[in-house]
A and B are shown apart, each in its own frame.
Chain A
Amino acid sequence: MSTAAAPRGAAPRGAAALRTDDPAVRPEPTGTVKKLGGLAGWVDDRTGVAKGAGHMLKKVFPDHWSFMLGEIAMYSMIICLLTGVFLTFWFVPSMGEVPYDGSYIPLQGVQMSEAYKTTLDISFDIRGGLLIRQIHHWAALMFVVAVMVHMFRVFFTGAFRKPREINWVIGTVLSLLSIVEGFAGYSLPDDLLSGTGIRAAEGFMQSIPIVGSYVAYFLFGGPFPGEAIIPRFYTAHVLIIPAILIGLFTAHLLLVMVHKHTQYPGPGRTNSNVVGFPLMPVYMAKAGGFFFIVFGAIALVSALFTINPIWAYGPYDPSPVTAGSQPDWYMLFADGGLRLLPGWLEIPIFKWTLSLNVAIGALLLIPVMYTLIGIYPFLEAWVTGDKREHHLLDRPRNAPVRTALGAAFIAEYFVLAMAGVNDILAIKFHLAINSITRALQLLFFVLPVIVFWVTKRLCLSLQRADRNLVLHGRETGNIYRSADGEFTEIHEPLDPYRRWTLVQHEVGTPLALGSTKDANGVESPLSKKARRRARWSQFYFRDSVAPVTPAELAAAHHHGEHDALPSAESATHVGPSEH
């Protein structure tokens, strides 16, 4: 360090001058570092982990806030695991009836299941229990929220394209599992609200044609409610689903490592590099710190806001139901689907009943939705015919149809979720629940179409705005008046770095539909399929706006000259006008 501080002007002379290019001698490690190095060496000698770990620690990640949405999901899941372990110490997953004798006075003496009683005990008689319970539940809600928002990011930036399709499918399965895990956990306390949810779930099973009642009997170990369902949900909630979740999550992360992280387009960022910082030490610090931020934020929310006040709901009893019975938010869309289905779909066939009014919403909606999500990357690749790898993300506006499809999906999901809270909307906005339901039934078909169209138009407009910006520069708001009295606004051209981001993307062209007949005038057997594909390709690429080409840019600058002021610094080209 001291040699580096030598003044530049004073060059060393003599023999010392020959050594100026030598690498600096590293100082001997101090005591602690030496000990740590020794320990690392000891571990490496026995496991050979250093090479892999070193490789991992040098992995470079790009910096962007939207890349941290998945991290929020990961940390919420870890918080759930930690707090969940605490809860298992006291929770007894049993439906055996006991009288309550804990400290919550309005329930003292009430007969209730052990599951409900122990949850009350965790809330009122275990030190810190209520806070941990609330952290567990808020973190669970945030887990599903973050998973969904992370999926939005991946979808709208096209991060699911080759080679990441498998990871998208894994993510889809994780998302589905997260809501199943959430539902199982929400059901465990056996309170009035969650019991109503289990009752509804039993109804869903019963709506399976022919085998429905047998399936319900099998899962509940007899008629509803029985004594088996809470212990079974418990096994699913603390054992089976978390095991699959963690396994898939590990695979999800490993694939991110294998594929390397995607990055937003920008100067110097190509499809074959990653611009960012290494995991160690930058992201170790950032990600590690972010874990504590997420934990802190969730703990703060949990300390200030009640979630799932089971003591207020009361113990489950099949006879009462409370007004405003809703599942946790991630199940609202499924509940909403049921609320929107008209009653005439219940069809009696001789002495049997085909409950399509339930089955469509309860049994078809979730599989259809998740299948569509899961196969989207393959559908898009088939339509675009794009088989290349993509490591640079799309700006959502540059893929108008994909963005519009995503927005339409969100709109549909939103309609269903709103239908799930139709009674709350009715009472809070002083509306008639019947009218809300009718309106949502209509919106289910209409809103996605409107949203698709509006979003696509917005994307195209934004692309055109980008073109304008590149061609004519930023409007500075400085008005110049010439000697002739003509007013001109000065446009400031973009700097090349900003411009690059706006022009780097490519625009696909629709597949051309060639002749459907071969040389001998015979109709090709493939033509029908090819024609269908060409139609989809038309749908996907039609109306696309091409980015500004260098030639266009040059022409624009040339054209812009006569507006530009000879003396203005902002003009890119100063010279006599040729017009």
Chain B
Amino acid sequence: MNALAARRRHPAAITVLLLLGLILTGAAYSLLAPKQAQAALASEDQVAAGKSLFLANCASCHGLNAQGTLSGPSLIGVGAASVDFQVSTGRMPAAGTGVQVARGVAKFDEEATAAMAAYVASLGQGPAIPEEAVTSGQGADLARGGEIFRVNCAMCHNFAGAGGALTWGKYAPALKDVTGRQIYEAMVTGPANMPKFTDTNISPEDKNNVIGFLKAIETQPQQGGYHLGNLGPSSEGLFAWVFALGLLIGAAVWLGSKAA
């Protein structure tokens, strides 16, 4: 105490105090300030690793600084969610250009995907990778999720998420075998022709309800027997003409050839 008091008039005291104040404020800010994106927390190393992956695999279309070229759009501001969606569903890196890049096998593991996402997120503000709590579909209100799905999604993705056609060879893909996180990311980033559904359009809880509904109809037993692709009456008609009629004509031929 005496030692501290003795040195309070030391010429360096004011500098030390200022420094201390700045550190405390900085620490408090970093603890209390709202987290905008995961990229804010991403380590320098991760961003650097992401950048080198980006330069090796993506820059040929998206440009060396992700500014976009004639063959690929700018990625500044698309956010980590967009990268995670495109790369984890195997759409990116694209094998070639076409009306729409199809889903495929993911070419990068989770760590590499996260690194690229961190790098792209570091370029500008965009939707972050969503938290598990709103993508698992746990505790979802299925009825509400179903209603939101029918009103907003079924017109392209079909009533059972079996997919549907759009103009000129574009299409809304089937929603089978996709993770809740990918569904959520698609809703917030609007890949290809899909519109964006921000938190003000459909709240995170309602997105979780939609995910819960999709998971429920995907995993529920097929109550009426095999669903014939969930394509509506067309596949039923084809089945009636080919298999049911074939069966009945077969029976008629058999009976017709039977001696009286």
Q: Which residues of A contact B (CB under 8 A)?
A: 63-69, 71-72, 105-110, 123-124, 130, 134, 138, 141-142, 145-146, 149, 186, 192-193, 277, 282, 286, 289-290, 293-294, 297-298, 301-309, 311-314, 317, 319-330, 332, 420-424, 426-427, 430-435
The 8 Å CB contact of A293, one of B213, B228, B255, is B255
Are A427 and B256 interface neighbours, CB within 8 A?
A: no
Q: A149-B245, A434-B167 are in contact. Are A105 and B216 (CB under 8 A)?
A: yes
For the complex, give the distance between the alpha carbons of A329 and B224 in Å.
19
- Per-position binary interface string of chain B over residues 27-43, scored 1 when its CB falls under 8 Å from any chain A CB and 0 otherwise: 00000000000000000
Q: Which residues of B contact A (CB under 8 A)?
A: 99, 142-143, 145-147, 150-151, 154-160, 162-169, 171-172, 213, 216-217, 220, 222-228, 230-241, 243-245, 247-249, 251-253, 255-258, 260
For the complex, give the distance between the alpha carbons of A426 and B30 in Å.
53
Q: A65-B255, A69-B252, A72-B248 are in contact. Are A433 and B260 (CB under 8 A)?
A: no
* Inter-chain CB contacts under 8 Å: number: 210
Offer 10 A-B interface pairs, CB within 8 angstroms, sorted by A.
Answer: A106-B146, A110-B147, A293-B251, A305-B239, A312-B159, A323-B172, A324-B162, A324-B232, A329-B237, A432-B99
For the complex, give the distance between the alpha carbons of A170 and B49 in Å.
78
For the complex, give the distance between the alpha carbons of A323 and B150 in Å.
10
B212 to chain A, nearest CB (A): 9
A290's nearest neighbour on chain B, judged by CB, is B255
Q: A134-B224, A307-B236, A312-B230 are in contact. Are A145 and B244 (CB under 8 A)?
A: yes
Are B248 and A192 interface neighbours, CB within 8 A?
A: no
For the complex, give the distance between the alpha carbons of A277 and B244 in Å.
28
Q: A106-B142, A329-B234 are in contact. Are A297 and B247 (CB under 8 A)?
A: yes
For the complex, give the distance between the alpha carbons of A330 and B234 in Å.
10
Closest 6 A-B residue pairs measured CB to CB? A329-B237, A323-B164, A306-B224, A65-B256, A426-B165, A432-B169
Are A306 and B227 interface neighbours, CB within 8 A?
A: yes
The 8 Å CB contact of B158, one of A71, A324, A332, A431, is A324
Task: Kindly list chain A residues whose C-beta atoms are within 8 Å of the C-beta of B236.
Answer: 141, 305, 307-308, 328-329
For the complex, give the distance between the alpha carbons of A323 and B231 in Å.
9
A433's nearest neighbour on chain B, judged by CB, is B165
For the complex, give the distance between the alpha carbons of A511 and B235 in Å.
48
For the complex, give the distance between the alpha carbons of A312 and B236 in Å.
15
Are B169 and A68 interface neighbours, CB within 8 A?
A: no
Task: Kindly list chain A residues whose C-beta atoms are within 8 Å of the C-beta of B143.
Answer: 106-110
Are B234 and A297 interface neighbours, CB within 8 A?
A: no
For the complex, give the distance between the alpha carbons of A309 and B222 in Å.
10
The 8 Å CB contact of A319, one of B151, B156, B216, B225, is B151
A430's nearest neighbour on chain B, judged by CB, is B169
B254's nearest neighbour on chain A, judged by CB, is A65
A490 to chain B, nearest CB (A): 31
A424's nearest neighbour on chain B, judged by CB, is B234
Task: Kindly list chain B residues whose C-beta atoms are within 8 Å of the C-beta of A145.
Answer: 240-241, 244-245
Are A317 and B150 interface neighbours, CB within 8 A?
A: yes
Q: A297-B248, A308-B236, A320-B151 are in contact. Are A427 and B164 (CB under 8 A)?
A: yes
Are B245 and A311 interface neighbours, CB within 8 A?
A: no
The 8 Å CB contact of A324, one of B99, B167, B234, B248, is B234
Are A192 and B241 interface neighbours, CB within 8 A?
A: no
Are B223 and A306 interface neighbours, CB within 8 A?
A: yes
The 8 Å CB contact of A68, one of B233, B239, B252, is B252
Q: A297-B244, A312-B160, A320-B154 are in contact. Are A326 and B225 (CB under 8 A)?
A: no
A150 to chain B, nearest CB (A): 11
Are A322 and B158 interface neighbours, CB within 8 A?
A: yes
The 8 Å CB contact of B252, one of A72, A307, A314, A424, is A72
For the complex, give the distance between the alpha carbons of A317 and B150 in Å.
9
B227 to chain A, nearest CB (A): 5
B26 to chain A, nearest CB (A): 50
Are A301 and B244 interface neighbours, CB within 8 A?
A: yes
Are A65 and B249 interface neighbours, CB within 8 A?
A: yes
Are B228 and A305 interface neighbours, CB within 8 A?
A: yes
Task: Kindly list chain A residues whose C-beta atoms are within 8 Å of the C-beta of B165.
Answer: 323, 422-424, 426-427, 433
For the complex, give the distance between the alpha carbons of A426 and B100 in Å.
14
Q: A319-B151, A322-B154 are in contact. Are A313 and B216 (CB under 8 A)?
A: no
A525 to chain B, nearest CB (A): 51
B238's nearest neighbour on chain A, judged by CB, is A329
Task: Kindly list chain A residues whose C-beta atoms are within 8 Å of the C-beta of B244.
Answer: 138, 141-142, 145, 297-298, 301
A194 to chain B, nearest CB (A): 10
Q: A145-B240, A306-B227 are in contact. Are A110 and B232 (CB under 8 A)?
A: no
Are B256 and A433 interface neighbours, CB within 8 A?
A: no
Are B227 and A309 interface neighbours, CB within 8 A?
A: yes
Task: Kindly list chain A residues whose C-beta atoms are within 8 Å of the C-beta of B222.
Answer: 306
B148's nearest neighbour on chain A, judged by CB, is A320
Extra contacts, 5 of them, besides A72-B252, A322-B158, A432-B167 (Cβ < 8 A), are: A108-B142, A130-B224, A305-B225, A325-B232, A326-B233
The 8 Å CB contact of B150, one of A277, A322, A325, is A322
Task: Kindly list chain A residues whose C-beta atoms are within 8 Å of the C-beta of B171.
Answer: 426-427
Q: A145-B240, A427-B164 are in contact. Are A65 and B257 (CB under 8 A)?
A: yes
Are A107 and B228 interface neighbours, CB within 8 A?
A: no
The 8 Å CB contact of B163, one of A68, A277, A323, is A323
Task: Kindly list chain B residues whose C-beta atoms are within 8 Å of the C-beta of A134.
Answer: 224-225
For the complex, give the distance between the alpha carbons of A192 and B146 in Å.
12
The 8 Å CB contact of B225, one of A141, A306, A332, A434, is A306
The 8 Å CB contact of B223, one of A63, A65, A124, A426, is A124
Task: Kindly list chain B residues whose C-beta atoms are within 8 Å of the C-beta of A322.
Answer: 150, 154-155, 158-159, 164, 232
Task: Kindly list chain B residues whose C-beta atoms are within 8 Å of the C-beta of A434.
Answer: 167-168
Task: Kindly list chain B residues whose C-beta atoms are within 8 Å of the C-beta of A277.
Answer: 260
A331's nearest neighbour on chain B, judged by CB, is B233
B155's nearest neighbour on chain A, judged by CB, is A321
B191 to chain A, nearest CB (A): 17
Q: A65-B249, A298-B244 are in contact. Are A320 and B155 (CB under 8 A)?
A: yes
For the complex, give the distance between the alpha carbons of A134 and B198 in Å.
41
Task: Kindly list chain A residues whose C-beta atoms are within 8 Å of the C-beta of B99.
Answer: 432
Are A433 and B252 interface neighbours, CB within 8 A?
A: no
B112 to chain A, nearest CB (A): 30
Are A326 and B234 interface neighbours, CB within 8 A?
A: yes
Task: Kindly list chain A residues whose C-beta atoms are within 8 Å of the C-beta of B166.
Answer: 433
Q: A105-B216, A110-B143, A297-B244 are in contact. Are A309 and B223 (CB under 8 A)?
A: yes
Q: A317-B150, A322-B150 are in contact. Are A290 and B167 (CB under 8 A)?
A: no
Are A142 and B255 interface neighbours, CB within 8 A?
A: no
Are A290 and B252 interface neighbours, CB within 8 A?
A: yes
Task: Kindly list chain A residues whose C-beta atoms are within 8 Å of the C-beta of B235.
Answer: 424
Are A306 and B249 interface neighbours, CB within 8 A?
A: no
Q: A145-B244, A297-B251 are in contact. Are A326 and B224 (CB under 8 A)?
A: no
